[in-house]
Amino acid sequence: MNILKSDFSLDRYGLHVRFVNEEDSEFIVMLRTDSQRGQYISSTDASVEKQREWIRDYKKRELQGTDYYFMFESPKGERLGVSRIYEIKKETFQTGSWVFKKDAPFGAAMLGDIICHEIAFDLFPDGVNLHDIKKANLPVNKYAENFNPTFIFETELTRYFINTRDNYLKHKDAYLAKYLPLIERMNKKTQEKD
């Protein structure tokens, strides 16, 4: 099994990516307990200390290569959002816990999700990505369609999908070709205003 080094970091699409640490606990709690941002992800206790404990336990899974929890930052080091690769098995992995603050730069959340998938498929080129989306989360359902995942089944509240590396990367390239210039243009305009 491929395992990321404990000092993992990456700069891509104007975002800096690293593993979360205990010092991120307050930011993560703020994101995940926000009524709008956290409504489609698993609920989180509002205790920063409980989040620190969770991260301490997570770090053991990180060392084993079964769970990776990423912090996405601006080039200036401002925390923007998080995403995970978890339930990593020999042939499958899941992605999720994807949430960014609402005033993150235009497109940052989408690019963070893409980076998370790129990391996962680089680590597990023959792996299959399992993911689920709440039916009520219409923007994420629409976004996910861009990557042509295979629908597996649904429950009353949730739709379940799989995607392979080749399929994901093919659709990702088309998505980036279409949207990356717009994202860069919008963020340039915002920087000029500041």
162 burial class (0-12, 13-18, 19+ CB within 10 angstroms)? middle
Sheet holding 150-154, edge to edge: 9-12, 15-19, 67-73, 79-86, 92-100, 128-134, 158-164, 150-154
Q: Please check the confidence at residue 171 and state whether its pLDDT lies above 80.
A: yes
Q: Please check the confidence at residue 44 and state whether its pLDDT lies above 90.
A: no
- pLDDT, average across residues 162-174: 95
Tell me phi and psi for residue 83, to 5 degrees.
-160, 160
- pLDDT, average across residues 41-62: 92
Q: Could you give all domains of the chain from N- to C-terminal order, each with its CATH number?
A: 9-193 (3.40.630.30)
Q: Which of 83, 84, 76 is nearest to 105 (CA)?
A: 76
Q: By the 8 A CB rule, do 114 and 13 touch?
A: yes
- pLDDT, average across residues 169-194: 86
Q: What is the 3-state secondary structure (H, E, C) of the chain?
A: CCCCCCCCEEEECCEEEEECCHHHHHHHHHHHHCCCCCCCCCCCCCCHHHHHHHHHHHHHHHHHCCEEEEEEECCCCCEEEEEEEECCCCCEEEEEEEEECCCCCCCHHHHHHHHHHHHHHHHCCCCEEEEEEECCCHHHHHHHHCCCCEEEEECCCEEEEEEEHHHHHHHHHHHHHHHHHHHHHHHHHHHHHC
- Mind listing the pLDDT tens digit for each residue in 124-138? 999 999 999 999 999
- pLDDT, average across residues 163-183: 93
In the prediction, which pLDDT does 182 show? 86
Mean pLDDT of all residues in the chain?
A: 92
Q: Please check the confidence at residue 173 and state whether its pLDDT lies above 80.
A: yes
